[in-house]
Amino acid sequence: MDLKEILQNFWKSYTEERQIIFNLVKKIHHFDYSKLEKILKEKGFNIWRASIFRTLNLFSEINILDRICNKNWIIIYEFIDEKNHHEHMKCQNCWKIIEFDDSEIHNFLEEISKKNKFKLLKHSIILEWLCEKCLKINK
């Protein structure tokens, strides 16, 4: 996946800052703005907060990032790997997120798509549960 080519396809400009953020978010699994900003600073990159926010919004808009949940106005992002279909489980209490891959779910969604004459491009399923730790606390 070449960022310059992706941005060009959407008539967006390429910048070195966008490339730095792109390279980083490909490696981070689930993250929010604060985690990304912290890692950027630890790696010695001095990118303005507004530039980070604008880049995250742009990447979401052009399907580089997916916003997988939102708690108290904090958005959790995930890099979109078009070859990797997976689902998420989220704890309703602590917001721990795990992902899992289930071919039966994916096959089921493909069947529904074909039955309704659609082509499945992507899907997002978030199951909300209580994790083992929070379940013990809430007993």
Q: Does the pLDDT value for residue 37 go beyond 90? A: yes
What token pair was written down for 25? 């978010």
**Stretch 34-55: mean pLDDT:** 95
Q: Which amino acid is at 128?
A: E
- Give whole-number Cα distances, 94 to 68, 70, 87, 135, in Å: 15, 13, 18, 11
Question: At 82, is the pLDDT very low, low, confident or very high (cuts 50, 70, 90)?
Answer: low
**Stretch 43-60: mean pLDDT:** 95
**Stretch 10-30: mean pLDDT:** 93
Q: Is the pTM of this model over 0.85?
A: no
Q: Does the pLDDT value for residue 83 go beyond 70? A: no
Q: Does the pLDDT value for residue 53 go beyond 80? A: yes
Q: What's the rounded Cα separation, in Å, for the pair 20 and 39?
A: 11
Q: What's the rounded Cα separation, in Å, for the pair 46 and 37?
A: 9
Residues sharing a CB contact under 8 Å with residue 19, sequence separation 6 or more, in sequence order: 3
User: What are residue 61's phi and psi, to 5 degrees?
Assistant: -60, -35
pLDDT of residue 135: 87
Question: At 84, is the pLDDT very low, low, confident or very high (cuts 50, 70, 90)?
Answer: low
